Structure 1
Amino acid sequence: MNSAHEAALDVTDLLPAQRCLRVAVVTETYPPEINGVALSLAKLVDGMLARGHEIQLVRPRQAVAPQAQHSDGMQVMLMRGLPIPHYPQLRLGLPAKSALVAAWQKRRPDLVHIATEGPLGWSALQAARKLRLPVSSEFRTNFHAYSAHYGLGWLNRTIAAYLRKFHNQAGLTMVPTEALREQLAQLGFERLTVVGRGVDTRRFDPARRDDNLRQRWGVQSYDPVLLYVGRLAPEKNLALLIKAYQTMAQQQARLRLVVVGDGPSADELRRRCPSAIMLGMQSGLELAAIYASADMFLFPSVTETFGNVTPEALASGLALVAYEHAAAQELVCHGDNGLLAPLHDEDAFVRRACDVLDRWKPDNPMRLAARRSMLARDWQSILEQVEDRWWSAIGSAEPQRMRNVAGLAVQV
């Protein structure tokens, strides 16, 4: 091949077709733990394995699953951890820079992808920098926004500064929405790139509606069911959920509230709303059936980076009310596939919740539009976006090595 053709070659287009990646994915939460970060990250890992990439999963040892479960293409590296206050079922990874340096010197990954910013994530960042490994990161949790809900508002600026310092050392940081990208950019975060989240529309499907399940809740076919799914914690704005439900119940006495999730606010929710049907933590097909067997979904949180429950509720064909924020801002067209309230306007949120009572029946056009709006948000398109960003991070960190590999591929 002549030199002129070689000079015109686009290296970033060539390399993904030549080989698969070896990626170290670092996280402080992963299934069987149940939370949005763990579940969406597992979707990413499973999808990348299916696409032929090799994954080294680095995570704290879990009390519920203490043994490493290796599989084809995936190695699990378990690290030391401590329980997280208020969430003893979750673990906070302890510093482990030396162990990671030793492991990655022995078997060098093409890229280190860091999903959480705790001590383990920081250790992975420093180990990668020491070994000059490309790094990508994800901004998945608004820790600085959460601080005010735990009496730590005075730490808000300190936490934001730490997160900025953390992510600005990565080659790029993935964020789930354009609105969050703009917000973080104003705070000084650099090299931000938007990668959305997918939803499993085969799992979350109105066809999973289960009348037997509704009967176990004490609900008849003509009774509307209001659903909340999420962590039961101060940052989720559960007081507004209760206020909206109680106002709606004055309009429709047969309305029932079903709550899925657990957390430090569970007992307070039971006390303030004794009629609520509390189902605790749910996952898999059981969770999908609960979604499909409800009629309306309220999500009052204002601290989400995305909120995976929003696309799950839409895919399940529920009449949804949320703030114009995070996933709802990206996915909901007000009045078409859901209802939105201006951010922080609690009175408007309650009014929208009362309005949605007119749309609770399964054949309502809004519920049908909700389902249709999610059919194109499959995980394959998201995986392709992440794959593209990974190659971009590698190309930015090691342009000379990329050119050398491309030259060898062309000569072959």
Structure 2
Amino acid sequence: MKIAFFTETFLPKVDGIVTRLTKTIPHLIEAGDEVLVFCPEGAPKEFLGAKVTGVPAMPLPLYPELKLGLPGPATSEALEQFQPDLIHVVNPAVLGLGGIWLAKTNGIPLLASYHTHLPKYLEHYGMGMLEPLLWELLKAAHNQAILNLCTSTAMVSELSEKGIQNTALWQRGVDTDLFRPNLRNESMRKRLLGKYEDEGELLIYVGRLSAEKQIERIKPVLEALPKSRLALVGDGPYRQQLEKIFENTATTFVGYLEGEELASAYASGDAFLFPSSTETLGLVLLEAMAAGCPVVGANKGGIPDIITNGENGCLYDPDGTNGGADSLIQATKIILGNDLERQGMRKAARQEAERWGWSGATNQLRDYYKQVLEDSDKLAA
């Protein structure tokens, strides 16, 4: 098959969508598929056998890390030259809408996938009143596709309820060869602790430092556990605000890590806290679990698909008392409270992660592609 991706985010940016794409593409190439990626400019021109075409882009005012690609005649020409069997629009916004238009005008079968819960992000940027309008725009875009993939059962249900048709689950994936428990080491632990002594539990967070991630919810946990330390791994537009929020706490801002350094960071923590209640899946949770780090996540969105409460991690109620703080503190205490139980959770977390390799997720995706091509042929007949 010849597949053209239109994605609003790609390398060198680091996020869950980029991780999924960069893990999926090599498996597609290995299966004999040809891949062309359209993404905002700044990416390499080739990625592990896939061609990459950068599109002129402008930073989003509220979120300068995210660039909005503006497709033009060169995009259309590159697509015509490639002659794809199918177009896959990832998280359609501006560039994705261009992909939808090109699919429709050229009669190319279209599949879309939903990764970022943008309507729920709006309230964190003071624009909650626009949520109904955004759902209408998303519905209009996604309903152009023959199939719409979601990364969790909760999102399949929510999108269906909002009027988005033909939804299906695109299963999770994680690199269990890279993220593994034996990378736990004292050198990385010291780096995560920064200037603070290793007197208690080391809590870690990995991901974008942005408002919708609700990272400030971890502060009451530090106050409730005075000897605990926090390492924030990642960067983003909310970093300066977070530095002020966590100013008088034992918190280290580590910045971006990747590869084995990132895997070692997960493995070297005592608990992974992920307070966000807007996640469609939460790939970082799977990475932490693969590294054998017990996890705490919100009982909302796609996270309950990953965490079985009390077995391989703990769920907290983000809508509970004190903005969910009491529940997050209690869940963290459960994970940290008993060393024997924590070791059991580490083992169970790793076992859960081992069920979800990228190869299986990509085989499932290829089956969806074949289904879309077959459905397209039926519609054309």
Q: 1:32 to 1:93 in 2, by over 3 A?
A: same
* 1:246 and 2:209 correspond: no
Instruction: Tell me if the contact between 2:155 and 2:302 (Cα under 8 Å) persists in the aligned partners.
Output: no
1:101 Cα deviation after fit = 3.5
1:351 Cα deviation after fit = 1.4
Query: 1:18: which partner in 2?
Result: none
Instruction: Tell me if the contact between 2:336 and 2:342 (Cα under 8 Å) persists in the aligned partners.
Output: no
Taking the aligned partners of 1:325 and 1:80, their CA distance within structure 2 comes to 36
Identity %: 30
* 1:377 and 2:356 correspond: yes
Query: 1:229: which partner in 2?
Result: 206
Taking the aligned partners of 1:192 and 1:140, their CA distance within structure 2 comes to 13
**TM-score, normalization: structure 2?**
0.92
Q: Which 5+ residue runs of structure 1 have no aligned equivalent?
A: 1-20, 404-412
Q: 1:286 to 1:157 in 2, by over 3 A?
A: same
> Which of 309, 314, 320 lines up with 1:339 in the alignment?
314
User: Which one is further off, 189-198 or 335-344?
Assistant: 335-344
Query: 1:265: which partner in 2?
Result: 238
Taking the aligned partners of 1:86 and 1:400, their CA distance within structure 2 comes to 41
* 1:78 and 2:27 correspond: no
Q: 1:359 to 1:85 in 2, by over 3 A?
A: farther
Instruction: Tell me if the contact between 2:279 and 2:303 (Cα under 8 Å) persists in the aligned partners.
Output: no
> Matches of residues 393-408 of structure 1 in structure 2 within 5 Å?
393-399=372-378
Q: Which 5+ residue runs of structure 2 have no aligned equivalent?
A: none
Q: 1:352 to 1:70 in 2, by over 3 A?
A: closer
Taking the aligned partners of 1:363 and 1:319, their CA distance within structure 2 comes to 7
Give 3-state SS (helix, strand or coil) of 2:160's partner: helix
**TM-score, normalization: structure 1?**
0.85
> Which of 35, 59, 70 lines up with 1:55 in the alignment?
35
* 1:144 and 2:124 correspond: no
Taking the aligned partners of 1:201 and 1:340, their CA distance within structure 2 comes to 23
Query: 2:288: which partner in 1?
Result: 313
1:328 Cα deviation after fit = 2.6
Q: Which amino acid aligns with 2:355?
A: A
> Matches of residues 9-408 of structure 1 in structure 2 within 5 Å?
21-62=1-42, 65=43, 68-69=45-46, 72=49, 74-96=50-72, 98-216=73-191, 217=193, 223-249=200-226, 253=227, 255-274=228-247, 275-345=250-320, 346=324, 347-359=326-338, 364-399=343-378
Q: Which amino acid aligns with 1:379?
A: W
Aligned pair count reads: 373
1:366 Cα deviation after fit = 1.3
Taking the aligned partners of 1:220 and 1:369, their CA distance within structure 2 comes to 29
Taking the aligned partners of 1:351 and 1:270, their CA distance within structure 2 comes to 25
Q: Which amino acid aligns with 2:237?
A: P
Bigger Rg, which one: 1
Taking the aligned partners of 1:39 and 1:183, their CA distance within structure 2 comes to 24
Taking the aligned partners of 1:269 and 1:360, their CA distance within structure 2 comes to 31
Question: C-alpha root-mean-square deviation of aligned residues, in Å?
Answer: 2.1
Taking the aligned partners of 1:30 and 1:392, their CA distance within structure 2 comes to 26
How far does the alpha carbon of each residue in 1:115-157 deviate from its partner, in whole angstroms, 9 at most, with x for none? 1312111011011101110011110111111011111111111
Instruction: Tell me if the contact between 1:308 and 1:327 (Cα under 8 Å) persists in the aligned partners.
Output: no
